[in-house]
Structure 1
Amino acid sequence: MKRRISTRAGLTLGTALGMAVLAGGAAAQDCTTKVGAVLPTSVDWGRPIAETAQFVVDQVNEAGGVAGCRIEMVLRDTQVDPKVGVDAAKALVDLDGVQVLLGAVSSGVSMPILTSVTVPGKVMQMSCCSSSTAFTTLAEEGKAGGLWFRTFATTGVQAAVGAKVAADQGYKSVAILYKNDDWGQDLGKLIASDFEALGIEVTASVAINDGQPSFRAEVTEAMAGNPDALYLGLYPNEGTAAVREWLSLGGTQNMILANSLKSDEFRDNVGLQYLGNALGTDTASPRVASADAFVERYKARFDSEPNGPGLANSYDATMIALLAMEAAGKDATGEEIAAQVSRVTDPEGTPVTADAEGFAAARQVLADGGSVMYQGATGNVRFDANGDVSAPAVVWSFTESGTEEVQYLSLDEVDGFIASLK
């Protein structure tokens, strides 16, 4: 039976029940359950994503763990490399026996893990950050097995907002440089279509491959049409090299950046003095109390703002996965855990906070046969039949200390703009 109470009452319940369970729950742990994480810890923007996931695990263990067992997150570095990522995922599934896999970040790494490891192994995969629409297609075709979820909105949101930035800035023509992987190909295709829908000429759309000594040929090709602006769907390493080539050849400083370049490494290696006209896009947390609470918890833990890409999404991905494990019970299979995701993100369920107290409260509600409405860092997360979410968005710019918000677009504004493009 579902237990329904008001949001305010739910938050109170989360605190009251949570404190009661915290008083004696942690000491009761006499077993350990492993969850796997395949995240790019060897790159500067990947480490905070992994640290955020571990932060959630620590809070859940403080609340007594999952189904009476302490959670151990076994973390392996993907190096943003599909082969490395698949090998890491196989080790976690075959050797460590995990039934839940967190990750990956890049769509180009998450996709081969999903198709060759988690779906064949019937392991639930929860990604914080993979945005390619190819996952939606795979799910629609029934090839994801109900095992795939992501807390980051699809590439379609970022593409649409990037096109809106170009239109708002009055750019008449744009060149595109995109990473030649699943994510970049998807983003490059979508944003080219959105630019054209707005009457903005795409003078060139050029793929960038990893590991090249120089991107001069690709950058020269992109510059040939003398565009008003450059769109970059790249990661920091190749993004830095490509922008340096672009600037050295006299390219415009008018740039639109995918969220993957929301990186101190990229800013510092290119030089803030060259990025004054650069505007980035990203999905955003809604302006709700649970999102503000995450920021305060993050600052208390890490003594810094959660400014990097994917941090709020990593928090929610990890907490929802662990809640689903709690709902499924001890020794549950990946399929059984995946089946419980809707029960812990139920809009009609008892509201619970995204912290140790809220997890403990959720445990009691679930034990009583109820469902919970998770209120997290990105708001009240809702997955559709394909494991997708939608989200608000922001436009941002670089500052000396990080980034600052230039514009916030609500979920209704994002959805309305995407609808207008069609």
Structure 2
Amino acid sequence: MSIMKLIWAAVGLALGLSALAGAVHAQECTTKIGAVLPTSVDWGRPIAETAQFAVDQVNAAGGAAGCAIEMVLRDTQVDPKVGVDAAKALVDLEGVKLLLGAVSSGVSMPILTSVTVPSGVVQMSCCSSSTAFTKLSEEGKTSGLWFRTFATTGVQSAIGAKVAKDKGYGSVAILYKNDDWGQDMARLIAANFAAVGVEVTASVALNDGQPSYRAEVTEALTSQPDALYLALYPAEGTAAVREWISLGGSQNMILANSLKSDEFRDNVGMQYLGAAVGTDTASPRSESADAFRAAYVERFGSEPNGPGLANSYDATMIALLAMEAAGKDATGADIAAAIAKVTDADGTPVSADTAGFQQAREVLAGGGTVMYQGGTGDVRFDANGDVSAPAVVWSFTDAGTQEVEYLSLNEVDAFIASLN
């Protein structure tokens, strides 16, 4: 072998050993984070899988704050009591300082007030939209530990009002889930529909697990409204719509994003959903959103069409970036304070992937800040841990959903301002 070949072989060996040493170093310790997500429902499993995808990418970058990350996942079953018990186990037994979740404001709220805030644990939710969290923060009751990557119910309710106005509906009845999220939605929907001249003829709450919703549906149907607004989850949503259709209710329906579900579509039947449209927050038309979509398709072999997927990815990645910025053995308060360092509008832009996390590590180590650019765009939290977002109107197809209308962040903000 020539001298030059020997030199290059030695260099290659050194680089290989260096990379191996870095990988070994990252595995010398493990930091657990908690996740409380509804893995027992069909639309909840992809949310959890997307969070794990972000964890895997961070571990490929060497982990966070020098340690490999282990996401300890617990199923909430979209049940407040189950969610609280799961969160307590993660905090008390696993010792996590960061909790991802939950889905549904009615589950996230009791976890926040009875588990994470009292224990000083950061709670980062992908999918809780109630404005009750904003109020709680304004009252100083979240201790700065609450963040969410999903826009508040104000966006969905406003765009729902726009849909009703654009379709010329004169009257709408509301069926809503009787929890924090549903109550918040019902209140906002009624106000926003009134602002655009649409009469709300009835607003009826549905409780979980009832054998029948005929009485509630009959109450909503009494005034024969032009359309029905549904702020429900798939199980009660399916039962309610079946009753509604069987009693002669209109197939004109406006759906909250919680019903953007194959389970709901298949159980109700496309023959009854042809006139139904839904609303959701949306990823911006940006390079970072496109990059997330491409990475998701490569990982899972399908489009990220389910609710909360980009939000789940961003929640996880931002939380882990904050752990990197806060350093090893950081407290929940330290991690919460570091979130501003990784979502700084004036910081160095970093991509949502392994390479972006490595770049962020270098910038943070040098005393700088970064601007995370992810599946939902440039995520920026306000003083209450809230974000705003573009919106989309969608409809069901035989294969999934399709976009009907896209509204940019500026268009959403302008329409909401017009309501006020």
Same fold (TM over 0.5): yes
Report Cα offsets for 1:236-268 as digits up to 9, x if no partner: 000000000000001000000000000000000
Identity of aligned residues (%): 80
2:379 paired with 1:381: yes
Q: What is the SS of the residue equivalent to 2:318?
A: helix
2:100 paired with 1:113: no
Q: Which residue of 1 aligns with 2:241?
A: 243
Report Cα offsets for 1:335-389 as digits up to 9, x if no partner: 0000000000001001100000100110111111110010100000000000000
The one-letter code of the counterpart of 1:194 is N
TM-superposed deviation, 1:24: 6.0
Q: Which residue of 1 aligns with 2:304?
A: 306
Q: Which residue of 2 aligns with 1:281?
A: 279
The one-letter code of the counterpart of 1:391 is A
How far, CA to CA, are the matches of 1:419 and 1:67 in structure 2?
A: 42
Q: Which residue of 2 aligns with 1:411?
A: 409
How far, CA to CA, are the matches of 1:24 and 1:357 in structure 2?
A: 18
How far, CA to CA, are the matches of 1:151 and 1:358 in structure 2?
A: 19
Alignment of 1:10-409 (within 5 A): 25-29=22-26, 30-409=28-407
The one-letter code of the counterpart of 1:162 is G
How far, CA to CA, are the matches of 1:177 and 1:143 in structure 2?
A: 30
TM-superposed deviation, 1:43: 0.5
Q: Which residue of 1 aligns with 2:3?
A: none
TM-superposed deviation, 1:26: 2.8
TM-superposed deviation, 1:28: 2.0
Q: What is the SS of the residue equivalent to 1:417?
A: helix
Report if the CA contact (8 A) 1:22-1:64 is conserved: no
How far, CA to CA, are the matches of 1:46 and 1:274 in structure 2?
A: 24
How far, CA to CA, are the matches of 2:352 and 2:287 in structure 1?
A: 11
Report Cα offsets for 1:260-295 as digits up to 9, x if no partner: 000000000000111000000000011000000000
How far, CA to CA, are the matches of 2:188 and 2:173 in structure 1?
A: 14
Using structure 1 for the length normalisation, give the TM-score: 0.95
TM-superposed deviation, 1:67: 1.1
Report if the CA contact (8 A) 1:176-1:230 is conserved: yes
TM-superposed deviation, 1:27: 3.1
Report Cα offsets for 1:141-174 as digits up to 9, x if no partner: 0000000000000000000000100000000000
How far, CA to CA, are the matches of 2:70 and 2:307 in structure 1?
A: 24
Q: What is the SS of the residue equivalent to 1:153?
A: coil
**Greater relative CO, 1 or 2 (CA 8 Å, sep 6+):** 1
How far, CA to CA, are the matches of 1:403 and 1:253 in structure 2?
A: 17
Q: Which has the larger radius of gyration?
A: 2
The one-letter code of the counterpart of 1:222 is A
Cα separation, partners in 2 of 1:22 and 1:173, compared to 1, 3 Å: farther
Q: What is the SS of the residue equivalent to 2:377?
A: coil
How far, CA to CA, are the matches of 1:93 and 1:241 in structure 2?
A: 36
Report if the CA contact (8 A) 1:219-1:245 is conserved: yes
TM-superposed deviation, 1:25: 3.6
How far, CA to CA, are the matches of 2:303 and 2:169 in structure 1?
A: 32
TM-superposed deviation, 1:397: 0.2
Kindly tell me the number of residue pairs found equivalent between the two proteins. 404
How far, CA to CA, are the matches of 1:24 and 1:81 in structure 2?
A: 44
Unpaired runs of 5+ residues, structure 1, are: 1-20
2:419 paired with 1:421: yes
The one-letter code of the counterpart of 2:238 is T
TM-superposed deviation, 1:22: 7.2
Q: Which residue of 2 aligns with 1:4?
A: none
Q: Which residue of 1 aligns with 2:5?
A: none
Q: What is the SS of the residue equivalent to 2:36?
A: strand
Cα separation, partners in 2 of 1:154 and 1:121, compared to 1, 3 Å: same
TM-superposed deviation, 1:104: 0.2
Report Cα offsets for 1:91-115 as digits up to 9, x if no partner: 0000000000000010000000000
Using structure 2 for the length normalisation, give the TM-score: 0.95
How far, CA to CA, are the matches of 1:286 and 1:25 in structure 2?
A: 36
